[in-house]
Amino acid sequence: MAQLFRPGANTLVRAALACVVLAPLLLFLLGMTIVRSGYVTGEGRFVDQPVPFSHQHHAGDVGIDCRYCHTGVESQANAVIPPTHTCMTCHSQLWTNAQMLAPVRESMASGKPLAWNRVNRLPAYVYFDHHVHVQNGVPCAACHGDVRRMPLTRQTASLTMGWCLACHRSPEDRIVAPAREFEGDPYHGRTANDRAFAHAVMAHIVASGRKLTDCTVCHR
Amino acid sequence: MSGVQMRHVRKQSPRWVLPSVTSLDHVTEAVAAPMMDRPAGPRYWIAFATMAALTLAGALGIAFSLAYGPGLWGNNSAVVWGFPIANYVWWIGIGNAGTLISSLLLLTRQKWRASINRAAEAMTLFAVSMAGIFPILHLGRQVYFYWLFPYPQAMGVWPQWRSALVWDFWSILSYLLFSILFFYVGLIPDVAALRDRPGKRGWRRFYGVLAMGWQGTPRQWRAQRRLHSIMAVIAVPLVCSVHSIVGLDFAASLMPGWTESIFPPYFVVGAFFSGFAVVVLIMLVIRWSMNLEGLIVPAHFDVMAKVILASAIVMGSSYGAEWFSAWWGGERGDIRLVVYEFTGDYWWLYLLMLAMNVLAPQLFWVAKLRTNAWALVGVSVGVLVGMWLERILIILNTLSTGYEPSFWRTYAPTIVDFIILGGTLAAFVLLFLILARLIPVVSMYEVRDLLADERQA
Amino acid sequence: MTAVAIATFDSEGAWLRARTRAIAAGHRVVGEWLPYASKAIGSGEGRGGILPWALTGGAIGGFGLFALECWTAIVSYPFNSGGRALLSWPAFIPAPVEFAALTAGIGGIVAMFVQARLTRLTHPAFDWEEVAEASRSSFVLALGCTAGDDANAAVALLANAGATHSRVIGL
Amino acid sequence: MSIELDRRAILRLIATGAAASVAGCSPPRQHIYPAVNRPDDAQPGTLTRYATAIPLAGYARGVTGLVVDSRPIKLEGLAAHPASLGATDLFNEIAILDLYDPQRLRTPMFGDRPGTWDGAARAISSRVAARHGEGMVLLTGRVTSPTLLARIAALKESYPDLRHVRWEAVDDDAPIAAARHAFGRPLTQRPRLADADVILTLGADPLGPGPDQIANGRHWATRRRRDPMARLYAIEPSMTNTGAMADRRLSASPADLARACHGLAAALTGDRQAPDLPAPLAVLIRQAARDLAAARGRALVLAGDGQPAEVHAFVAWANSRLDAPVDWIAPVDPDSTPHRESIATLAADMRAGRVDTLIVIGANPVYAAPPALGFAEAMKRVPLIVAAVTMPDETSARAHWQLPLSHPLESWHDCRAPDGTASIAQPLIRPLYDSRSAIELVDLVGDAAADLDGYARVQQSWANLGADGWQEAVAGAIVPNTASRPAVVATAPLVLPPIDTTFGPAIEVRVSPTLYDGRFSTNAWAQECPEPLTKEVWGSSARMHPADMATIGIGDGDIVRIAQGHGTVVVPARAVRGQAKGVVTLFTGYGRRDTGAVADKIGANAWMLAGGGPAHVSKAGEHAPVLTTQHVFALDGELAKLYPVLRPDEAMAPAKAQPTLIPPNPPNQDAPPQWAMAIDTDICIGCNACVVACQAENNVPVIGPDEIATGRVMHWLRVDRYDVAETGAGFQPVPCMQCEKAPCEPVCPVEASVHTAEGLNAQVYNRCIGTRFCQANCPYKVRRFNFLDYSHSSVWGEAGDSSVKAQRNPEVTVRGRGVMEKCTYCVQRIAAAEHDADAQHRPVGAVQTACAAACPTEAITFGRLDEDGAIRRARANKRHYALLGELGTRPRTTYLARRVNPGNEA
């Protein structure tokens, strides 16, 4: 009887068997990488804005304090995007007819709000509270990066649950002394002061019996 | 089939292959010819079309359920589980029997398994596949079923290993894949035979690939036989544990009527029970449709009927044990439940269930009925209905009368529930119809072995 | 070796008879093909076991999964689930047991493929149609011969032993 | 202050609110809209509280509005207000949904064409301007608003012949008439329940629905808590919430009730012949008389508003004889013409063509007026009818002009509480639609060109307060010392009601505890809220005594036809406990038409039978029972342990420790704060305030009758109703027990159900995959599953629910389909409290769950297990028990047992 298969068949079938085992494994690894990539998480993503607002210019060069616009950050959950009115406090004097500020003036005139595009986006079922973080020494930069160096605002963290947990599991080395929360790069050169405050906060958390990895800390 | 009452055989030392089968080649031809040479007749295609249509209907039912949610079913706020879970338990039960039969009989050197084990194992594969649909389908958010699998999520959370549902996940997965391997190991020599048998080249190449270059040298036979028995040794505890775990879905709770240590064993017996019923039906159909009277003989049915009878008795006593332990334990909740079983909203279903599972099989005390086709069909179907009722009643009776009377609710299934159940039944048959055209439904090499033995004796 | 004498037998008995005679007559058995696992070939236990492979596979799967359970439940993200202990080992057992069975099976089948020399879809033996007979109905016996007359003797021997068919294949 | 925020902003916020979060599903909107010019006190996302008041049947009840992003999302009680005392009732809780109800009338309608306010105004003035308002009638509900009264007076100046008719379907004619007879002037009785040791109710339901329910409940509970335990007798035709809580209760037909009065009179005076009473009634009267007499000065007799004037007159006599804790005040409603009389005259005038222009503001006579008046027919004779409504109704459907009336939360107004205390009510939101308040409307009628400014009107009628006084009054929603002074009254003469022995069943029409007189029929929360005693939802059946049903050969749920005078209704009948033989009881509020998808074609209109007179009940065929959410009420055998009932000084048997294999809590489990709840079933009056409060706070969807019919429910908190003793009933609110050894947690395969360090049994909606194993394994069955996409499907028909989404609490995830949800002790409130505490580096303060905040009797208390307070006190109480404690689940929600104090027979 003649051979049913060509000699190559043996190798072929062995290769095939190998694939049966390896292919799913590879696909799995590929998936794991993709979901963690910026492509999915949006880490490092720039977002166009109706007005090309530069944190570098306002917060960095001019040196306006974060809290001047984000008025809620120390007192409530929502850090607050400033109303058009806030922009106009300066821009009614400065650059009063700069083309790039036209939308701001238009909004002030028409009373129609500016539609800023969200940069740091959390799912709707995640409840983040700004003031409890800031008041306990978690600097803006921990999540938002050094906005003083951002001509256009960029998402600097992956904002995945795993990323949040990393900090909630060991906050102490993310906490800085009260004064430094609003610095651009507070983690650069941590002082004994920082460590002392971090220690105090940790002590409070432990004493309060709160568990920062409880689901209800973020989800309701 | 030729004559409802099969020609009865002498009790002592039954012959498992009729004298009509003379040579080894005869065995191969008897099994392979109808499959490879003869085109499928109109009867086949009619059956195929009907089953395909019903399967499609079931698929639609599932599609709608996925689109609109579990709200399409009869489940309510108290009876949160309904058909899907019952179907799952029922199918997995049927699925258990196949591998159990084949492996248990292999270990106990039951020669007669030769002609039924292939079909039994195939039944396992298909039944478990059907069962596998339901745990996913019954979820509220089916798209996230994979959260039961422990992979490094970006969320940083893992499955909750204490949940019986996670155990389920692993047992179905393991059992399905294991059964496929077991099935394949037993299949290799036969596909090799089909490869070497004159026929269309394309098909022969197909079988050639499946055979993986099997030649039948003593070395290969030794390896194959050794692995087969090792897998059989693993299969027996695996099968039992799989259905024990299904039992634990209920037993590992604190609802009256569920928290019963008897559940695991009693689920296993139930599985064996319903599985054998299906095997009987399948063997009857194969024997009749593929004219395998020579290889599947009355003695086979006689033995299987005895097994069904035995398990019916065990089932009966398990029910008895349930009632007794309720009374003996004195737990008010359990007593109330037993009373509810007989007097509550589902009393007639419960009595029907007892009739089917315990009384009907008693017919097999009569020797003649054990080989009477209609009796076999009737009892087997009865047992299947009875076992399905048992599964659904386990859910309904407990969930309809929980600890809080203010939240007692009765359950009524919807048309969608029935469509989906029917769909899986049809799909099961459909798969078998396809299988019958693809691979030998009787293990040829084992029957050769058996034949050789009997001829020497 | 220059030739092979090959013959088919329709029964286990005939094949065994021929086999013993051939060996007695000093012939070398170069190949045998059987339609089913005859008891005569023995179980061959001890020679390259499959069991060790299966056991290893099972151990890896079972203990591996159990370890994963413990790590996730105690180290990676401990939860208070109904006040149960973090290391609820009894509840951690079922899944690994099931999984171990699967991996054992996989280990076994790999071993079998190796030992049975499978995945050889093309093989010289397939050139002899007698081999094709084997997988369906016949016992096939091939003896290695050195010279022509030797081959003829072998064929004769096989024929006398009750071969349904026998011939010489020159190499 | 008012919130100045343009209407577009509101709708925009509604849109973003709509986008607010669906568990695990669609991503949030990508845009952020900061306001252009934001008032300082309105930081986005912060929750602000404003005091205001909303009227029920004209009477004010103070509320605190919780406002987020300029949207009121929830109403809570107002501690300082005498009719709220910090708590709410069902009607206050559901009011917020009416505000956002998509069925609301949005623009003026002329016939079925959209019109303008201008058009309407001109239509009116063109008719009446010339004729000094001759033939012009202004029909309103009860008016206690000083401003509105002033505007109407002003209107009368420009139209001297204008007639103002005020009419409430639920009237107080009988008690007023009785007071007239007893004291020669109209007076209203104000019982002081807190001071009453013995109370006898004659068909009265002080703890039932009505403007006084909250206050009555609170005062009654105050006394109930005090030792020695008070005693409550109830004689009533059908069971009421009060009757359910009674220590001794008897059901009596009107005739028997009259006899009871005679019997009581005889027993109290001792100098007259007692009539022959049915044995049990005689015993009860004898005992009640003894206790009442013994408790002179602290004994009280109450008659239901539905009772005839004679019974009220008798009660007045009894109370003055017993020197009962009762205040008599001048009616808060200045107009004391009997309601029935005024509506009857109006109907007569209309029929006689004496009415030329009819302006209806917030009254619905076509639906609720006695059928004998043929009001709808009479309307045909009126050339111009203008009806102002928030929700279209039967009357407005027959009017020429329909005008959208502002919701109380949208407009400046004022009104008086039942005790006379005046409230100035500020709006919490700008009108969502082109609507006007009653005050503005009256001005409009007077002068089509008037510039409508409710704010100015209200302010000018309270000018005497001065700037600061005004500020204070508005901020607190109370005008100080405006409560009516109690009148000094003479001893009332003895009046005995005639014993009516006409043959045939008596019809009792009762105010619905969920829909009131029908003004809340269109409210989906109200429709889906179970009636306290039968647990009926989306409908109501005629309650009958089983014997009566047997005689006409019908069973539970069979349809009966009830004919009386001009009215006929066809409803399913239901045999209920504590129903008097020969009495058929119906609830108002059903059988609506022309109102919208929610209320139309549900049940039958009981007002059709309000006329009185002989009735006839007959079988009308098919079987169509009304849906209920609870089917079993009797607790026989071992089930009795679910709702233990104790004697006054009895204590619960100590629970024996259960052996368990489950290890003790990990140490961090006992660190503060540890939250817990205690519920006192002895003072729970089953008012359902908690049920709807929870629904409003936690975005619990309405699922509609079809879903309920398949046995599904969504209310996180259910109030179980169980039979107590022979004739009473008891209520047991069942939220999640937050078990320390929760059975639901270990069965969840994905850790969606886990325990927090603070003792909460958390449910993580976005992690839930919907296996439902948790609910299957929950002994208390307190988990709720989204079988369909409830939060995105609407029961409002084609109206859709986009506006309703604006009510949703942004702090709570909106659950999508296939997700299990449940009570988590309002974890969003706990989180808010803790975050503020941590941010300000101070210990966590008190937290109130929505249900606890709502409870009128303070039966639900929430607090911390780790520090002294209400919870520890409750757990130390001898009546304390854990529901199904023997299962070893160690619930955090525990109960105090119900008591009955039947006393010994005289």
- Residue D227 CB-half CA count within 13 A: 4
- Residue D809 CB-half CA count within 13 A: 26
Distance from CA of C55 to the nearest CA of D (A): 29
Which residue has better confidence, D660 or D198? D198
pLDDT in tens, B217-269: 999 999 999 999 999 999 999 999 999 999 998 988 889 888 888 888 888 99
Query: What angle (nearest 5°) sits at the alpha carbon of residue D549, between those of residues D545 and D553?
Result: 165
Q: Which residues of C touch D739 (CB under 8 A)?
A: 82
* B162, closest residue in chain D (CA to CA): D746
| pLDDT given for residue A189 in this prediction | 85
Of B183, B327, C6, A124, residue with least CA distance to D813? A124
| pLDDT given for residue D126 in this prediction | 87
What is the four-CA torsion angle of D516, D522, D526, D529, rounded to 10 degrees?
120
Place of tokens 């969608």: B416
Which residue has better confidence, B383 or B38? B383
Of D743, D744, D755, the CB nearest to C80: D755
Burial class (CB in 10 A: 0-12, 13-18, 19+), C168: middle
Distance from CA of D431 to the nearest CA of B (A): 37
pLDDT in tens, C37-67: 888 887 655 556 899 999 999 999 999 999 9
pLDDT in tens, A82-101: 999 899 999 989 888 889 99
Burial class (CB in 10 A: 0-12, 13-18, 19+), B66: middle
Q: Which tokens is D860 given?
A: 């639900």
- Per-residue pLDDT band at C148 (split at 50, 70, 90): low
Is D267 strand, coil or helix? helix
Average pLDDT, chain D: 91
Distance from CA of D35 to the nearest CA of A (A): 5
Residue type (1 letter), D431: P
Of C7, C4, B143, B170, residue with least CA distance to D819? B143
| pLDDT given for residue D11 in this prediction | 43
Alpha helix (H) ranges present in D305-338? 309-322
| pLDDT given for residue D671 in this prediction | 72
Of A77, A116, A219, the CB nearest to D32: A116
Is residue B9 a part of any domain in this protein?
A: no
Contact call for residues B115 and B300 (beta carbons, < 8 A): yes
* D889, closest residue in chain C (CA to CA): C82
Residues 314 through 373 of chain D touching chain A, CB cutoff 8 Å:
none
Q: Are strands D422-425 and D413-416 parallel, antiparallel or unpaired?
A: antiparallel
How many Å from the N-terminal Cα to the C-terminal Cα in chain B? 29
Is C141 strand, coil or helix? strand
Q: Which tokens is D539 given?
A: 């409908």
Taking residues B94-120, report their average pLDDT.
Answer: 86
Instruction: At B223, give phi and psi (nearest 5°).
Output: -60, -45
Burial class (CB in 10 A: 0-12, 13-18, 19+), D579: buried
Is residue B7 a part of any domain in this protein?
A: no
Which subunits count as partners of chain D given 3+ CB pairs below 8 Å? A, B, C
| pLDDT given for residue B1 in this prediction | 39
Q: How far is CA D238 from CA D118, D245, D544, D706, in A?
A: 50, 13, 9, 29
CB contact under 8 A, D776 and B71: no
Residue type (1 letter), B5: Q
Kindly report the number of other CB atoms within 10 A of residue B104's CB atom.
17
Q: Which residues of D touch C84 (CB under 8 A)?
A: 662-663, 745-746
CB contact under 8 A, B163 and D769: no
Residue D820 bridge partners (DSSP): D785
Of A5, A36, A41, the CB nearest to B208: A5
Is residue B8 a part of any domain in this protein?
A: no
- Per-residue pLDDT band at D463 (split at 50, 70, 90): very high
C116 and chain B: CB distance < 8 Å anywhere? yes
Q: Is the pLDDT of residue D883 over 80?
A: yes
B448 and chain C: CB distance < 8 Å anywhere? yes
Percent of chain B with pLDDT over 90: 68
Element (H, E) at D723: strand D718-724
Q: Which residues of D touch C88 (CB under 8 A)?
A: 746
Residues 6+ apart with CB under 8 A from C148: C2, C3
Of A80, A82, A132, the CB nearest to D838: A132
Q: Is the pLDDT of residue A106 over 80?
A: yes
- Per-residue pLDDT band at B454 (split at 50, 70, 90): confident
| pLDDT given for residue D6 in this prediction | 46
How many contacts (CB atoms, under 8 Å) link A and D? 163
Taking residues D374-388, report their average pLDDT.
Answer: 95
| Domain count along chain B | 1
Q: How far is CA A84 from CA A75, A153, D36, D730, in A?
A: 21, 18, 5, 58
Q: Which residues of B touch D637 (CB under 8 A)?
A: 332, 336
Instruction: At D548, give phi and psi (nearest 5°).
Output: -60, -40
Q: Which tokens is B319 given?
A: 């029910």
Cα D478 to Cα B320: distance, rounded to the nearest angstrom: 71
Place of tokens 């974890």: D827
Is B402 strand, coil or helix? coil
Q: Which residues of B touch A28 (CB under 8 A)?
A: 151
Q: Which residues of D touch A83 (CB under 8 A)?
A: 34-38
- Among the ranges given (B259-273, B343-357, D39-53, D393-407), the one the predictor scored with the smallest mean pLDDT: D39-53
CB contact under 8 A, A135 and D36: no
CB contact under 8 A, B156 and C77: yes
Q: How far is CA D275 from CA D272, D440, D503, in A?
A: 9, 57, 19
CB contact under 8 A, B404 and D710: no
CB contact under 8 A, B162 and C91: yes
pLDDT in tens, B121-170: 999 999 999 999 999 999 999 999 999 999 998 999 999 999 999 999 99
Average pLDDT, chain A: 91
Kindly report the number of other CB atoms within 10 A of residue A178's CB atom.
13
| pLDDT given for residue B103 in this prediction | 87
pLDDT in tens, D156-197: 998 999 999 999 999 999 999 999 999 999 999 999 999 999
Q: Kindly list the structural domains of chain D, giving each domain's residue range(s) and its CATH number in brackets, ordered by start.
A: 1-171+338-481 (3.40.50.740), 173-329 (3.40.228.10), 506-623 (2.40.40.20), 676-899 (3.30.70.20)
Cα A71 to Cα A64: distance, rounded to the nearest angstrom: 13
Residues 208 through 237 of chain B touching chain A, CB cutoff 8 Å:
208-209, 212-213
CB contact under 8 A, B156 and A165: yes
- Per-residue pLDDT band at D146 (split at 50, 70, 90): very high
Q: Is the pLDDT of residue A47 over 60?
A: yes
| pLDDT given for residue D558 in this prediction | 95
Among D665, D761, D835, most A C-beta atoms within 10 A, so best to mutate, is D835
C95 and chain B: CB distance < 8 Å anywhere? yes
The alpha carbon of residue D827 and the mean position of all alpha carbons in its chain are separated, in whole angstroms, by 26
Contact call for residues B144 and B118 (beta carbons, < 8 A): no
Estimate the crossing angle of helix B332-343 against helix B347-354, to 10 degrees: 80
Q: Which residues of B touch C69 (CB under 8 A)?
A: 161
Among C74, C119, C129, C169, most A C-beta atoms within 10 A, so best to mutate, is C119
Which residue has better confidence, D615 or C148? D615
B158 and chain C: CB distance < 8 Å anywhere? yes
Residues 6+ apart with CB under 8 A from A137: A175, A176, A177, A178, A181, A194, A197, A198, A201
Rg, Å, chain A Cα set: 25
Residues 276 through 295 of chain B touching chain C, CB cutoff 8 Å:
none
| pLDDT given for residue B334 in this prediction | 87
| pLDDT given for residue D8 in this prediction | 43
Q: What is the ipTM of this complex?
A: 0.92
Contact call for residues D28 and D18 (beta carbons, < 8 A): no
- Per-residue pLDDT band at D670 (split at 50, 70, 90): low
| pLDDT given for residue D276 in this prediction | 84
- Per-residue pLDDT band at D614 (split at 50, 70, 90): confident
Kindly report the number of other CB atoms within 10 A of residue D800's CB atom.
11
Q: Which domain holds residue B31?
A: 26-144+157-456
Among D633, D700, D778, D887, most B C-beta atoms within 10 A, so best to mutate, is D778
Q: Which tokens is B330 given?
A: 């004195």
Kindly report the number of other CB atoms within 10 A of residue B270's CB atom.
28
Place of tokens 């995105």: D792
| pLDDT given for residue D476 in this prediction | 93
Query: What angle (nearest 5°) sits at the alpha carbon of residue D641, between those of residues B325 and B256?
Result: 30
Element (H, E) at D157: helix D146-158
- Among the ranges given (D329-333, D450-454, D664-668), the one the predictor scored with the smallest mean pLDDT: D664-668
Which residue has better confidence, D197 or D132? D197
Q: What is the pTM of this model?
A: 0.93
Of C110, C117, C115, residue with least CA distance to C46? C115
Contact call for residues C118 and C80 (beta carbons, < 8 A): no
Which subunits count as partners of chain B given 3+ CB pairs below 8 Å? A, C, D
D19 and chain A: CB distance < 8 Å anywhere? yes
pLDDT in tens, D765-821: 999 999 999 999 999 999 999 999 999 888 888 778 889 999 999 999 999 999 999
Q: Is the pLDDT of residue D890 over 60?
A: yes
Q: What is the DSSP code string of D649-713? A: T--PPPPPPPP--SPPPPGGGGSSP-EEEEEETTS-----HHHHHHHHHTTPPP-HHHHHHTT--
Query: What angle (nearest 5°) sits at the alpha carbon of residue A180, between those of residues A175 and A183?
Result: 110
Residues 6+ apart with CB under 8 A from D465: D472, D473, D479
Q: What is the DSSP code string of B120-173? A: HHHHHHHHHHHHHHHHHHTSSSGGGGGGGS----TT-----TT-HHHHHHHHHH
Of B144, B159, B253, the CB nearest to D777: B253
Taking residues D826-853, report their average pLDDT.
Answer: 93
Is residue B11 a part of any domain in this protein?
A: no
- Among the ranges given (A45-54, B126-135, B339-348), the one the predictor scored with the smallest mean pLDDT: A45-54
At the topology level, CATH places domain C3-35+135-170 in: Alpha-Beta Plaits (3.30.70)
Q: Which tokens is B393 given?
A: 């009643």
Q: What is residue A84's DSSP assignment? A: H
Is D234 strand, coil or helix? strand
Is residue B13 a part of any domain in this protein?
A: no
Q: Which tokens is D16 given?
A: 């973003």
Place of tokens 């359970």: C69
| pLDDT given for residue B457 in this prediction | 63
Is D569 strand, coil or helix? strand
Q: Which tokens is B298 given?
A: 């009355």
CB contact under 8 A, C83 and D741: yes
Of A111, A136, A216, the CB nearest to D36: A111
| pLDDT given for residue B263 in this prediction | 86
B145 and chain D: CB distance < 8 Å anywhere? yes
Q: Is the pLDDT of residue D669 over 60?
A: no
C44 and chain B: CB distance < 8 Å anywhere? yes
In chain C, domain spans: 3-35+135-170, 51-116
| pLDDT given for residue B11 in this prediction | 47
B216 and chain C: CB distance < 8 Å anywhere? yes
Distance from CA of B156 to the nearest CA of A (A): 5
| pLDDT given for residue D27 in this prediction | 34
Q: Is the pLDDT of residue D702 over 70?
A: yes
Residue type (1 letter), D244: A
Residues 369 through 428 of chain B touching chain D, CB cutoff 8 Å:
399, 402-412
Kindly report the number of other CB atoms within 10 A of residue B50's CB atom.
13
Residue type (1 letter), A189: G
Element (H, E) at D547: helix D546-551
Q: What is the DSSP code string of D509-536? A: EE-BTTTBTTTTTT-HHHHHSPPTTT-B
CB contact under 8 A, C80 and D757: yes
pLDDT in tens, C93-124: 999 999 999 999 999 999 999 999 899 999 98
Q: Is the pLDDT of residue B110 over 90?
A: no
Cα D181 to Cα D187: distance, rounded to the nearest angstrom: 10
- Per-residue pLDDT band at D701 (split at 50, 70, 90): very high
Q: Is the pLDDT of residue D2 over 50?
A: no
Residues 6+ apart with CB under 8 A from B455: none
Greatest C-alpha distance within chain B: 72
- Per-residue pLDDT band at D29 (split at 50, 70, 90): very low
Taking residues B65-80, report their average pLDDT.
Answer: 95
CB contact under 8 A, C126 and A1: yes
Average pLDDT, chain B: 90
Of C81, C135, C136, the CB nearest to B162: C81
Taking residues D259-268, report their average pLDDT.
Answer: 94
